[in-house]
Amino acid sequence: MVSSHHLWSFCCFFSLVTVIFSWLVSPTRAVYHGYVPSPWTLAHATFYGDESASATMGGACGYGNLMTNGYGTDTAALSTTIFSDGYACGQCYQIRCVQSPWCYTGYTTVTATNLCPPNWSEDSNNGGWCNPPRTHFDMAKPAFMKIAQWKAGIVPVMYRRVPCNEIRKGGIRFSFQGNGYWLLVYVMNVAGAGDIHQMWVKGTKTSWISMSHNWGASYQAFATLQGQALSFRLTSYTTKQTITAYNVAPANWNLGLTYQANVNFH
């Protein structure tokens, strides 16, 4: 049994590592109008797929082809502890390998695009890396290889949430699915905190209609909206900032297409 003295010393050691790391690697803070970086925190990271990152396409957030939709290979699947039932989709994280001989220097920035589900058949410290309450990043292999040698398999990391402004340029994009009575919208290219908590849609013949969270980065409205230009209102999950994107889709919009607004979060 581990004594309380040794446990206290172990906790103090990691607290000290966190403080020193934050002080050493934190660059000059830029001034943002919205979300600002969070403190550095200790976690672990693995990778999935190969160097092509083909295994990361799709994913629980519903971003589809990550290449054509602007996410590339700098992505990660989050353990349920931080996935937050899909509300974490689109969030951006800086990740740096620490305390391992396999580490490279520097950090990389990834976007949350997938869920790393629990594996209860494996011990949480031996294979069940994404089991609650662990905070874990299962990274696309090209992203993992920016912070550590892939042979490591798993490494301790320091991570922090950062604004997505540097990697999400232009307006928010809305990808339409569904049918004539049900509009399902996947929300992509979200800047600021990167996430969405609430969403509304308005046709030229309707008032604002509240959309329910389907899963990941998708929201739905059970309404007949065809033949109307569509506007959207969105609230960030993290900052609670609300923005309105007017006339995103023209009256002749179609399912299966993606439309881009001229506004975004900051």
* pLDDT, tens digit, 9 for 90 and up, residues 169-202: 999 999 999 999 999 999 999 999 999 999 999 9
* pLDDT, tens digit, 9 for 90 and up, residues 9-61: 434 444 444 444 443 444 334 333 467 899 999 999 999 988 888 888 989 99
Q: Which secondary structure element, helix H or strand E, spans residue 143, and what is its range? A: helix 141-144
Higher pLDDT, 3 or 86: 86
* pLDDT, tens digit, 9 for 90 and up, residues 1-15: 434 444 344 344 444
Of 38, 108, 48, residue with least CA distance to 77: 48
Contact call for residues 56 and 114 (beta carbons, < 8 A): yes
Of 237, 239, 202, 245, residue with least CA distance to 217: 237
- Give the model's confidence band at 236: pLDDT under 50 very low, under 70 low, under 90 confident, else very high: very high
Give the bridge partners for 158, in sequence order.
42, 96
CA distances for 112 relative to 33, 60, 242, 264, angstroms: 22, 10, 21, 18
Distance CA 89, CA 84 (A): 9
pLDDT of residue 34: 65
pLDDT of residue 43: 97
* pLDDT, tens digit, 9 for 90 and up, residues 118-175: 999 999 999 999 999 999 999 999 999 999 999 999 999 999 999 999 899 999 999 9
pLDDT of residue 38: 93
Question: Tokens 């309450």 sit at which residue?
Answer: 133
Could you please report the per-residue DSSP string of 92-119? EEEEEE-SSTTBPSS-EEEEEEEEE---
- Rounded-to-10 torsion of CA 190, 218, 77, 66: -60
Question: Tokens 């003295």 sit at which residue?
Answer: 5
pLDDT of residue 54: 87
Contact call for residues 202 and 228 (beta carbons, < 8 A): no
Question: Tokens 């301790």 sit at which residue?
Answer: 156
Of 179, 161, 138, residue with least CA distance to 239: 161
pLDDT of residue 1: 42
Q: Could you list the beta-strand ranges (E) of 33-105.
A: 41-48, 75-79, 92-97
pLDDT of residue 36: 85
pLDDT of residue 11: 43
Of 212, 252, 210, residue with least CA distance to 230: 252
